[in-house]
């Protein structure tokens, strides 16, 4: 499709701004509420055991419905689904901000996840269909990847500022400031045409995929708060495996599959999805445990903690924009993603050296900068490659797979690292008595254990993506390039 035929071409950079705002809001919500949890718990009076549901409710709804959300955009029009996602997210956030009980707050977070599952794939597929020229596509996906990688760090800072100076409720209200302008911009800028022929929705595939992803995310979340040997954890993970295997078998036989296997079996796309999932598993651990370390061991305030992550966000933005605009067209994604994984591993090895006392500039900053540089080299090329050359009817579900990989990777990583960290703390305390110093040393031992394991995850990621990614620059079939008819 030529630029003159593309109704979005003339306004493409304004459209990128709208999509970027929407993506930032979705990514922010993975971390912004974490900072607000202690004060929300004090205000609403719910228990420590229930606290995790504020995070888990969002993750369960978001992670399990992403594939369906992506497919609905393909069927009913991406603009329509994108705007519905934005407005629904705003309404859910307003309900959460006014919540006077734990139950209402959890319900609002689940509702945020539902509309986020419509919104996130829609944002990425719109970006993919708006920017089809190679040079501009690189810049656009670099910016999008920078937002995806750095948004969690921005969420920590914004959550800290809002909680400290206003109220925990503003960590939910703030979404209205993102969603409503983005919805107005989408209505004004985007064109939408319903597909001429609407294929049937794959009901068996939708049920098995949604239930399987729900069981998978729930199983790992449950392991984080109980144990890997807990009966519910084991049953959830077994059910997840059975349902997801059944889903793949159904997709191979279906005439209108929810996720056509041609989308994931392409080596460039398959390696991109794996890279995003593996890096998500390692990255979320960094945010979680380094946040605990900065606040509980070094005594940082929520705002100062958020500021501490900003250099990492800056490094992500620099490498993400440079990699997709200049390096991917020259070298292809493989060397960049592998290098990003290795930089992430080295950065985590640096953080694994932390003790009970540390100076930010010498002990913490180098690891964060290396991590940021690595994340930018992974996310932007992988996201761009994951949606390159997808057939028009598959653009939404291919985009949804990017978010699914990151969400599942984050859930797996957080659960795995949390349980290993807790085990390391328990082992350290054996026979050492109880004192504030021993408690601090045990906590740091748990964090550094998580950093070592995360470094191993990135090292495995470097090997896996290096083996699966083909060498060279991917070439999209012009006939298969996404077009703006959905």
For 1-17, the pLDDT digits (tens) are: 444 455 556 777 888 88
- Of the chain, the percentage scoring pLDDT greater than 90 comes to 21
Cα–Cα separations (whole angstroms), residue 465 to 412, 453, 459, 472: 18, 18, 10, 14
139 neighbors 324 (Cβ within 8 angstroms): yes
pLDDT band at residue 190 using 50, 70 and 90 as cut-offs: confident
Q: Is the pLDDT of residue 235 over 90?
A: yes
Q: How far apart are CA 477 and CA 266, in angstroms?
A: 13
Q: Is the pLDDT of residue 126 over 50?
A: yes
Return the pLDDT at 345.
95
Return the pLDDT at 122.
79
Q: What angle do CA 215, 220, 225 make, to 5 degrees?
A: 120
Which tokens sit at 57?
A: 């409710």
Q: Is the pLDDT of residue 392 over 70?
A: no
pLDDT digits (tens, 9 = 90+) for 440-456: 889 899 999 999 999 99
Q: How far apart are CA 204 and CA 376, in angstroms?
A: 37
Average pLDDT score over the chain: 82
Winning range, highest mean pLDDT, from 157-161, 255-259, 267-271, 395-399: 267-271
404, 408, 440: which is closest to 425 by C-alpha? 440
Q: Which helix (H) or strand (E) holds 349?
A: helix 333-351
185 neighbors 17 (Cβ within 8 angstroms): yes
Q: How far apart are CA 236 and CA 218, in angstroms?
A: 7
With both helix axes pointing from N to C terminus, report the angle between 48-76 and 78-97 in degrees, rounded to the nearest 10.
160
Which tokens sit at 308?
A: 């501490």
- Of the chain, the percentage scoring pLDDT greater than 70 comes to 92
123, 132, 117, 8: which is closest to 66 by C-alpha? 117
Please indicate whether residue 345 or residue 135 has the higher confidence score (pLDDT). Answer: 345
Return the pLDDT at 476.
54
pLDDT digits (tens, 9 = 90+) for 97-120: 998 888 999 999 999 989 988 888
335 neighbors 470 (Cβ within 8 angstroms): no
Please indicate whether residue 148 or residue 42 has the higher confidence score (pLDDT). Answer: 42
- Map residue 29 onto helix, strand or coil: coil
Which tokens sit at 481?
A: 């390039």
Which tokens sit at 148?
A: 């995806």
pLDDT band at residue 199 using 50, 70 and 90 as cut-offs: low
Sorted by sequence, the CB contacts under 8 Å of residue 230 that are 6+ apart come out as 222, 223
Return the pLDDT at 15.
85
Return the pLDDT at 133.
74
Sorted by sequence, the CB contacts under 8 Å of residue 480 that are 6+ apart come out as 389, 390, 391, 392
Residues written for the chain: 486
Sorted by sequence, the CB contacts under 8 Å of residue 380 that are 6+ apart come out as 141, 142, 144, 145, 146, 149, 319, 320, 321, 323, 324
Q: How far apart are CA 282 and CA 265, in angstroms?
A: 24
């Amino acid at each position: 499709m030529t630029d003159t035929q593309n109704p979005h071409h003339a306004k493409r950079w304004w459209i990128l701004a709208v999509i970027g705002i929407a993506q930032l809001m979705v990514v922010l919500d993975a971390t912004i509420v974490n900072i607000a949890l202690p004060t929300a718990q004090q205000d609403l009076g719910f228990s420590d055991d229930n606290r995790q549901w504020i995070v888990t409710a969002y993750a369960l709804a978001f992670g399990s419905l992403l594939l369906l959300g992506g497919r609905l955009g393909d069927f009913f029009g991406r603009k329509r689904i994108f705007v519905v996602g934005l407005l629904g997210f705003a309404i859910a956030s307003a309900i959460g901000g006014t919540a006077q009980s734990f139950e209402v707050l959890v319900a609002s977070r689940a509702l945020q996840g539902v509309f986020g599952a419509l919104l996130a794939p829609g944002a990425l597929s719109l970006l993919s269909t708006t920017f089809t020229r190679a040079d501009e596509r690189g810049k656009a996906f670099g910016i999008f990847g920078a937002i995806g990688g750095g948004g969690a760090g921005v969420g920590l800072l914004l959550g800290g500022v809002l909680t400290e100076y206003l109220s925990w409720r503003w960590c939910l209200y703030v979404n209205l400031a993102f969603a409503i302008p983005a919805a107005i911009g989408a209505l004004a800028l985007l064109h939408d045409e319903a597909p001429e022929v609407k294929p049937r929705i794959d009901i068996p595939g939708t049920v098995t995929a949604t239930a399987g992803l729900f069981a998978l995310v729930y199983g790992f979340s449950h392991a984080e708060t109980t144990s890997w040997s807990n009966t519910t954890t084991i049953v959830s993970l077994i059910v997840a495996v059975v349902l997801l295997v059944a889903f793949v078998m159904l997709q191979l036989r279906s005439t209108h599959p929810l996720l056509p296997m041609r989308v994931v079996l392409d080596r460039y796309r398959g390696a991109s999805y794996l890279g995003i999932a593996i890096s998500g598993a390692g990255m979320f651990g960094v945010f979680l445990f380094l946040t605990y370390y900065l606040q509980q061991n070094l005594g940082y305030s929520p705002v100062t903690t958020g500021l501490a992550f900003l250099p990492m966000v800056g490094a992500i933005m620099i490498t993400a924009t440079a990699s997709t605009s200049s390096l991917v067209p020259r070298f292809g994604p493989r060397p960049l993603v592998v290098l990003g994984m290795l930089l992430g591993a080295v950065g985590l090895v640096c953080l694994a050296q932390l003790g009970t006392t540390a100076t930010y500039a010498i002990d913490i900053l180098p690891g964060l900068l290396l991590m940021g540089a690595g994340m930018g080299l992974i996310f932007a090329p992988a996201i761009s490659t994951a949606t390159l050359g997808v057939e028009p009817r598959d653009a939404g579900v291919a985009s949804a797979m990017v978010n699914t990989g990151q969400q599942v990777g984050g859930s797996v990583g957080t659960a795995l690292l949390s349980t290993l960290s807790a085990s390391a703390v328990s082992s350290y305390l054996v026979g050492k008595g109880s004192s504030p110093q021993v408690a601090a040393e045990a906590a740091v031992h748990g964090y550094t254990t998580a950093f070592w394991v995360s470094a191993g995850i990135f090292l495995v990621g470097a090997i896996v993506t290096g083996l699966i990614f083909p060498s060279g620059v991917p070439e999209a079939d012009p006939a298969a390039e996404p077009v703006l008819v959905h």
